[in-house]
Every structure is written in C-alpha cells, then in structure tokens.
Amino acid sequence: MSIVNQKIGGEIQTIASSLLESGEVAAFLGYTKGSLPGMMRPYVARDSGEAGNLSWSSFCVINLANYLPALLRSVEPPRRPNEPPPEGQLPKVGVVATGCWSRNMVVQVQENQIDRSRVVIVGVSSRGMVDRRKVERLVGNREITAIEEEDNVLIVRGKGFEETINRWDAVRDNCKTCLHPDPVIYDELAGGLSGDRQIPDRFHEVEEIEALSVDERWKWFQEEISSCLRCYACRNVCPLCYCPTCFVDDSRPQWVGKSTDEVDTALFHILRAYHCAGRCTDCGSCESACPMGIRMRLFTKKLQKDVIELYGFEPGLEADAPLPLSTYKVDDPEDFIITAGKKGDQK
Amino acid sequence: MEQVTNAEWEPRIIAFLCNWCSYAGADLAGVSRYQYPPSIRIVRVPCSGRVSANMILDALRAGADGVLVSGCHPGDCHYISGNLYARRRFALLERLLEFVGVEPGRISFSWVSASEGEQFAKVVEEVTERVKRLGPARRLVKEISSCPS
C-alpha cells in the first residue's frame, strides 16, 4: 500500500467530512475506487458519511474540473431557465485539485464558468498519474486482475503472473513533462507541496514531429487518428469543452461530417485541439479517456508550445492575465502575413 | 480524379475579404484595371475577425486549393481591433495546420487597405503562385466516393 497516497486519501476524507459536516459545502467532488484494476472513478460525496468513500491513487487520470460547472448548478435551488439566481450566497462545492486541474479551474474562473467564491479547493501535489495502457504494455498486454500500488512500484497481478514495475515507467507522458505539479489555487491542502520541477526538453515530443517533413507529418497525423471512432470521449472529458452546442454537433452549417471519413476525423481533431489553444493545461484527460489510445494531446501540446513562443503565456498560472486569444498586442508577431513585395516582406 | 498539369491548371482559391478594406481594395483593383489571376472566389465578410478556423477548413474540405484571408492593416480596423484578434488566431492556426502536415502555402493571410488596388493584385498573384507550386489540394479535401455496390 502506498503510504503517500494513503496519507493524501486520509486527509481528503477528513477535510471533506468536516466541510460536509459543517455544511460549508453541499457536495464534495473527489475520487473513489473504480470497479476495475487501475481505474479510479470521479465521485461526489453529499454527506459526511459518503466522504469515507473518497480515495486517492495514481490512477486519478480524469480532470475533475470538467465536472465542476455542472455540479455547481446542481446544488443551486431549482429555477426556470431565465430566472435570476436567488439573493445571497449560493451553496458551495468542495473539490480535489492537482496542479493541472487547479490551472483549469483558474481558466474556468477567467471564462466565467465557475465562481471562485463557491468552490473550496483541496489541493494535492501530483506525483504523476499512471497510464493504464503503459502498465498493460509493461506486462506484455496480459490480462490484469489486480494492481497494488506502493510508493515507487506497482505490483501487477494477473492469471498466473505477478510483476513488479517501476511506477515512474508507467507515468503518463504529460505528467513526465509537467513543470507545476502543485496546485496554483487552493483553500486547503492534502499532503505536502513538492515545488516546481525543471524539465529542459518539455516539448521534445512535439519537436520530434516538427523535425519531420510535411509529407511525413501528414502521414503521422493520418496514422495517429486512423483508429478514431469519433466517440468524442476526448471532448466530453475536457474541462475546456463546455459550449452548449459543439461545432461537431452543428448541422447548419455542418462544419464536420458525422461519418468516420478520414477528412472529417482530421477536421474534428484539428478543430478540437485548436479550440483549446491558449487554454489547455496539458492535463492529459483526453488521452486517458480515449478508448483507442490516440495521442491527441500532441496537437494541443503543439499549440501550447506556440502560445508560449509567440505570446509568452501559460494558461492557469496567472489569474489576472487575459487569455491569449481574448487579447492582443499591437506588435504581435506577424511574419506569416503575405506582403507581396511591400517593405517588411519576410516570406 | 483527373490529373492536371500545372501549366494550364488554374487553382481555386477562396478569399475571405473584409468589407471595409480588402474587399474595397479588390474593387479598386477592378476599377483601376489591374490584372490578376482569375483564381480567387471572393467571400465578403464584415471583418477578418469574423473568419473562424471552421470557415477556412470548410473551404478546404469543400475542395478549395487555397484560402486567402485578408483584412485591414493593423491599427486600421473598422472595428478597432478585430484584425488584431484575428492575427493571433491565424498565427496559431497556420502553425497547427503545418504541424499536422497541411502544406505551408495552402492558407495565406494578408493586409490590404481600400486604397491598395495594385497591392491587392500583387497579393493575389503571389498567393496563386504559392498554390500553383503546391498543385491541387488533396489533404483535407472530402471526396464523396460512390457507394460500393
């Protein structure tokens, strides 16, 4: 049993229980054990008794910020669509947040999706979440019946085998290149903070692809998305995707066809990533939720790199700075603009 | 799909031109009788800030060989800052499309003011030349194939 996770889980339970007991929050959003090995399930505790079900492990891969806006609405008193909210403080909600989740919550506050005064954030410093697929690959894709987590190793059991693997070998790619594992905003802490990390080549995955030729990149892109089922799990799990009608569901005009035609799939992935530009915190939920193992995080990672290069912005770190695509500077880089021989031509 | 040689092939380029500058610039190119290639199909938009990534990709999907978006020069936007927001979006979109393997040059952006008729003709020439070098668009073009019997 992992002592670190046990300590964090215990503290989450204690904090959640006291918040629910005192009535400060109406609901507490955390994680509970899932029904399969290596699966954790988002869980809402609504009284202090249910807080005992909360748990913590290295398999909490889905970003809890995704559920916050709907959970906040669910604890408000019922009212008609256009009726203004009642006077006074609306009920609060407690939530567990690691570094990237808390940065998404900052973005949600900036985009008016959540009201910071109604959220009690219990910060957890992330040690990196484990990719279930990596665990499967490390044990030769045999069927896993149980995963026991120690602090630095995972003991994986299946029919007729038991293997001990290094935890870090199975940690998700986005967690390995994460600079800010500590929550940016929090009201309480479960476990200690670990401080920012130094990673010299955090964009190496993107740079490897950028080094390819155009035709090779196109081939890579087509292969990467070829198995896409268009189940939209990556969209549904993303805390940035909250449009009432998504562009993929629009029918007039229909931006993206409903079929699994390769062009429609390509357009879906390009636009989904593009809509996350300057907002994505690289939490990796999309990849973790994908049933086909598509690495669509590379597209948003590329945009993250460009936003840093062009506009020097990292989402979620500064609550006061406007999001990069909702602002501008007069001297923004424009070397891509065609000038057709006029002065300043750089093409 | 018939193969076409570059010599006689004239690309189809969708040009999103802002109402206040580039569309008027195109108009001026016409009344001033500047010659430019007959490759562009103009869509008039209120502002270059109106042009979303959806619209650019939709044009490519529908079979355009290239897309040109043109608006007012920075600082001259009729809506003060629409083109400055657009500039950030286009910069990221162009880089993303190149990242996934869409040829650089398929989509182009420019600033043309209402008084720059000659400049408009030059921009169209350059964009047409870029697209001609690439040949007909194949990537991101949705082809409706007949149902297998």
Are B84 and A330 within 8 A, CB to CB? yes
Q: Judge: B96–A273 Cβ closer than 8 Å, yes or no.
A: yes
At residue A114, φ and ψ (nearest 5 deg) are -135, 155
Which residues of B are less than 8 Å from A211 in CB distance?
Answer: none
- In sequence order, which residues have a C-beta less than 8 Å from that of residue A49 and are 6 or more positions away? none
Å between A231 CA and nearest CA of chain B:
20
- Of the candidates B104, B24, B34, B28, which has an alpha carbon nearest to the alpha carbon of residue B71? B24
CA distance A20 to A3: 25
Q: Which stretches of chain B score pLDDT less than 70?
A: 1-7, 145-149
For the stretch A198-214, what's the b/e string if a residue is b when 16 or more beta carbons lie within 10 angstroms of its beta carbon? Answer: eeeebbebbeebeeeeb
Tokens of A318: 């500064």
CA distance B7 to chain A (A): 22
Backbone angles phi, psi at B4, to 5 degrees: -120, 145
Pairing of strands A119-123, A92-97: parallel
Asked if A207 is an interface residue toward chain B (Cβ–Cβ < 8 A), one would say no
**B74/A contact by beta carbon, under 8 A:** yes
Within 10 angstroms of residue A216's Cβ, the number of other Cβ atoms is: 12
pTM over 0.80: yes
Q: Render pLDDT for A266-300 as a digit per residue (tens, 0 to 9).
A: 999 999 999 999 999 999 999 999 999 999 999 99
As a residue count, chain A comes to 347
In this structure, are residues A334 and B94 in contact, taking their beta carbons and an 8 Å threshold?
no
Q: Give the number of C-alpha atoms closer than 13 A to the C-alpha of residue A62, restricted to the C-beta side.
A: 23
Q: Amino acid identity of A179? A: L
Q: Find the CB nearest B119 among A218, A333, A340.
A: A340
> Per-residue confidence at A347, pLDDT binned at 50, 70, 90?
very low
What part of B 76-135 touches A (C-beta under 8 Å)? 81, 84-85, 87-104, 108-111, 119, 122-123, 125-127
Q: How many CB atoms lie within 10 A of CB A75?
A: 16
- What are the extents of the domains in chain B? 13-134
As a whole number of angstroms, the distance between CA A156 and CA A58 comes to: 14
Contact of A205 with chain B, judged by CB distance below 8 Å, is answered with no
Interchain CB distance below 8 Å, B102 and A218: yes
CATH of domain B13-134: 3.40.50
Give the pLDDT confidence of A221-270 residue by residue, as tens digits: 999 999 999 999 999 999 999 998 999 999 888 999 888 889 999 999 99
Name the residue ranges covered by the structural domains of chain A.
3-78+88-189, 204-326
Tell me: the pLDDT tens digits for A39-60? 999 999 999 999 999 999 999 9
Minimum distance, in Å, between the CA of residue A232 and any CA atom of chain B: 18
Cα–Cα distance for residue pair A302/B92, rounded to 1 Å: 10
**Residues of chain B above pLDDT 70, percent:** 92
Q: At what angle do helices B82-99 and A214-225 cross, to 10 degrees?
A: 80
